[in-house]
């Protein structure tokens, strides 16, 4: 199979970022989570529990890889080849980085984290769970953005969803994470560790969503008014934003209505409200967050 220069460059770029994402995830696990018995859900959380149960005999990265093997065998037939290849690469890279950088992470903790704590024997677990979630979410978000996962519960969830469509991927992931957190609470004999794990999971999921879907910097507004023409003209003249007219029908009155749709920056919202109020104080306005906007006046198409 021959690759053009552009396709080869694109492929190299994609795998470069998959490597970076896997490394960041491994760094979060090694520096903030595993040393403090904070599980991150999925197979990494299970591997962390096994690591402590075996007194370090089974490394976290190697255990994750072994647990991933049957998932890749099962997922190869159910999920696209391209996705599986990328996911296999990311899973191997993550397992490698976790075990390869474990000693460096311990050195980093001893030299830069423990020394600055007021009570060296009692690290600030909340702070570690927050930063662990942030960095892990950023790393996983990069991997997912380039059409892959690091295997584990993500791959298992996709397989279960294909076999039992009644369960969504999100539902399966939530169920798996709950089981892992409960397992950690039982093994470590502490509800506190489970609560910190929940903090990590929530933060990492929010970071992943922000990275994949975009941060909400824009607003979409729907305006229903009997003076829609005047309002649309003012929006285009004063705010310099495009307006789209949608046809609607009031279900109570059965009268046809013109619904204006406009996407604008958050800083323009006060001006919009004032503009509409001046023309029609009785206008109905609906504001909603927009994750990502592609097109003129916003972000260029990738």
Over residues 158-170, the pLDDT tens digits come to: 778 778 888 776 6
Domain that holds residue 230: 218-290
110 and 82: one domain? yes
Residue 285 covered by a domain: yes
The pLDDT of residue 213 is 67
Say whether both 125 and 35 belong to one domain.
Answer: yes
Least confident of 204-218, 236-250, 258-272: 204-218
Q: Are residues 176 and 268 in the same domain?
A: no
297 within domain boundaries: no
In this structure, what CATH number is given to the domain that contains residue 280?
3.30.70.120
Q: Which of residues 171, 186, 213 is at a domain's end?
A: 213
Q: How far apart are CA 300 and CA 277, in angstroms?
A: 32
**Same domain for 161 and 233?**
no
What is d(CA 22, CA 111) in angstroms, rounded to the nearest whole number?
Answer: 24
Q: Quick: pLDDT tens for 70-107.
A: 888 877 776 667 778 888 999 999 999 999 988 888 88
Does any domain span residue 302?
no
What pLDDT does 118 receive? 47
Same domain, 142 and 82: yes
Residue 247: its H or E element:
strand 244-249
Report pLDDT for 65.
92
Same domain flag for 73 and 188: yes
Residues 204 and 232 reside in one and the same domain: no
**What pLDDT digit, counting tens, does each position of 269-279 carry?**
888 998 999 99
- Residue 299 lies inside a defined structural domain of this protein: no
Mean pLDDT of 114-126: 61
Residue 77, domain member (yes or no):
yes
Residue finishing a domain among 213, 238, 269: 213
Q: How many Cα atoms within 13 Å fall on the side-chain side of residue 56?
A: 5
125 and 179 within one domain: yes
Percent of the chain topping pLDDT 90: 41
Whether pLDDT at 121 is above 60: no
Residues 250 and 222 in one domain: yes
pLDDT digits (tens, 9 = 90+) for 44-69: 999 999 999 999 899 999 999 999 98
Q: Are residues 190 and 131 in the same domain?
A: yes
When pLDDT is cut at 50, 70 and 90, the band that residue 219 belongs to is: confident
Tell me, yes or no, whether 199 and 243 share the same domain: no
Give the pLDDT band of residue 150 (cuts 50, 70, 90).
confident
- The tally of domains found in the chain comes to 2
Domain membership flag for residue 295: no
pLDDT for res 80:
67
Residue at 296 is within a domain: no
Q: Which of 180, 213, 246 is the last residue of a domain?
A: 213
Burial of 239 (C-beta count, 10 Å sphere; 0-12/13-18/19+): middle
- Same-domain pairing of 32 and 169: yes
The answer to whether residue 300 is domain-embedded is no
Q: Inform me whether the pLDDT recorded for 116 exceeds 60.
A: no
| pLDDT at 146 (0 to 100) | 86
Entry field: residues in the chain: 302
Distance CA 7, CA 23 (A): 24
> Integer distance in angstroms from the first to the last C-alpha of the chain?
26
The average confidence (pLDDT) of the chain is 85
Residue whose entry in the numeric block shows the structure tokens 């005999």 = 57
Output the pLDDT for position 84: 82
User: Residue 296: which pLDDT band, with cuts at 50, 70 and 90?
Assistant: low
């Amino acid at each position: 199979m021959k690759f053009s220069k552009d396709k080869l460059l694109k492929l190299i770029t994609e795998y470069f970022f998959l490597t970076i994402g896997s490394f960041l995830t491994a760094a979060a696990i090694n520096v903030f989570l595993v040393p403090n018995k904070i599980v991150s859900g999925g197979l990494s959380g299970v591997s962390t529990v096994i690591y402590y149960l075996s007194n370090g005999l089974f490394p976290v990265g190697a255990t994750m890889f072994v647990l991933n093997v049957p998932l890749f065998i099962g997922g190869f037939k159910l999920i696209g080849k391209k996705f599986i290849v990328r996911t296999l690469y990311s899973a191997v890279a993550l397992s490698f980085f976790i075990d390869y950088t474990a000693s460096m992470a311990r050195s980093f903790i001893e030299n830069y984290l423990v020394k600055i704590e007021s009570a060296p024997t009692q690290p600030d677990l909340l702070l570690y769970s927050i930063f662990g979630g942030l960095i892990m979410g950023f790393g996983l978000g990069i991997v997912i953005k380039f059409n892959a996962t690091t295997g584990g519960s993500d791959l298992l969830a996709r397989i279960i969803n294909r076999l039992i469509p009644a369960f969504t991927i999100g539902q399966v992931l939530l169920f798996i994470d709950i089981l892992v957190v409960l397992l950690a609470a039982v093994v470590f004999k502490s509800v506190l560790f489970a609560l910190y794990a929940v903090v990590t999971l929530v933060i990492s999921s929010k970071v992943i969503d922000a990275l994949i879907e975009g941060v909400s910097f824009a607003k979409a507004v729907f305006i229903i008014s009997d003076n829609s023409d005047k309002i649309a003209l003012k929006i285009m003249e004063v705010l310099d934003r495009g307006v789209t007219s949608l046809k609607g029908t009031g279900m109570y009155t059965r009268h046809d209505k013109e619904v204006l749709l406009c996407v604008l920056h958050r800083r323009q919202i006060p001006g919009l409200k004032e503009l509409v109020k001046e023309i029609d104080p009785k206008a109905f306005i609906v504001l909603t967050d927009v994750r990502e906007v592609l097109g003129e006046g916003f972000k260029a198409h990738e």
